[in-house]
Amino acid sequence: MEKTYYAPASIGNFSVGFDTLGLALSPVNGELLGDRLAIATAAKHSTKSKLVVAGRYRHQLPTKSQDNLVLRCWTAFRRLVAKPLPELNFTLQKELPVGSGLGSSACSVVVTCYGLNHFFAEPLTTMELLNLMAEIEGGVSGSVHLDNVAPAFLGGMQLMTPSLDEPALKLPWFSHWSVVVSYPGTVINTAMARQVLPATIALPTTVRAAKNLASFVSGLYTENEALALNALEDTIAEPYRQPLIPKLASLREQAHRLGIHHLGISGAGPTLFALCTDDEQARQAQQLFENHYHTNADAMTHHCRVDLSGARLLVSEEAPNAIS
């Protein structure tokens, strides 16, 4: 028997919160936009766990199974739990493009760690799980940042905090807001996109970024939509990453002409997102991206609302396998 788990795609940074904000995504048409992972106990005398990869973006993953984040998470999980665990069979449905800006590696890390913890009747606390996910994801992208892991795991719009006890907290969200995300089909490696950033940021820029983030968060809490919308500006990463996304300026200009409030870089890119306050804006944004941003068959554009659930069990056929 097997259990199938899911973790949603996410928008890291959300323009105004570099490494500090992350939004989990759920397509409005009811489809899933994220990775699915089936976990089953291997045959009794199996000596090693096995991974099968399927899905639209399986061709973008490492050819060696042991390099896949699913098995890297399994190794780290069993080391942390430090109790005898059976070998497992995994099937990863890879539906998020690698190096996309949609939190693809975080999605695989979250769905695997969450799934393993559920499969073995929760030997790790939520905090232990979050720290494990952050450590593994950080190893991939070059530095620990929770702005994809936290929303993929916990759902909603997540604000990262300096607190060790509560490193992320769910923010309010305007229920009529939606985002159209568009992946062009090209790749930007997150570690590389972090290397183009300067080691220090000028004081005026830092002050402006603080004002923007504080205003955005205040606008969400006080339901002051204009305050939140007017704060959406990326003064930290975009000035250095725009050369990696040459079409950004022209697409933003066309989006503003269509009355779309904000167009920003999703995470480290190349995915872009358009923040929409009604369905007509979303329709226009979808058309703009599909006509002017898609570059190959890997490209995709989705109209999404916030995914409030985060990582979850999709299919279960028996009680969790408690560790003896």
Instruction: Give the residue ranges of the annotated binding site.
Output: 97-107
Q: How far apart are CA 3 and CA 320, in angstroms?
A: 9
Interface map 65-104 toward ligand HSE (x if CB under 6 A): --------------------------------------x-
Question: Which of 26, 117, 148, 178 is in the footprint of ligand ATP by CB under 6 A?
Answer: 148
Site for ligand HSE contains 147 (CB under 6 A): yes
- Provide the minimum distance between the beta carbon of 230 and ligand ATP in the complex, in angstroms, as a whole number: 27
Question: Which of 16, 76, 102, 228 is in the footprint of ligand ATP by CB under 6 A?
Answer: 102
- Name which of 22 and 38 has its Cβ closer to ligand HSE: 22
- Name which of 189 and 230 has its Cβ closer to ligand ATP: 189
Residue 60, token pair as written in the block: 């973008």
Q: How far apart are CA 127 and CA 137, in angstroms?
A: 15
Site for ligand HSE contains 13 (CB under 6 A): yes
Residues 6+ apart with CB under 8 A from 200: none
Site for ligand HSE contains 131 (CB under 6 A): no
- Secondary structure letter of residue 235 according to DSSP: -
Site for ligand HSE contains 213 (CB under 6 A): no
Going by the annotation, the residues of the binding site for ATP are: 97-107
The total of other beta-carbon atoms located within 10 Å of residue 153's CB is: 29
The total of other beta-carbon atoms located within 10 Å of residue 163's CB is: 9
Q: CA torsion angle for 183, 189, 191, 196 (degrees, to 10)? A: -80
3-state secondary structure of 193: helix
What, of ligand HSE, ligand ATP, none, does residue 131 touch, CB below 5 to 8 Å by kind?
Answer: none
Interface map 236-255 toward ligand HSE (x if CB under 6 A): -x------------------
Q: What are phi and psi of 271, to 5 degrees?
A: -60, 140
The total of other beta-carbon atoms located within 10 Å of residue 110's CB is: 36
Binding site for ligand ATP (CB under 6 A): 61-62, 67-70, 98-106, 108, 140-141, 148, 189-190, 267-268
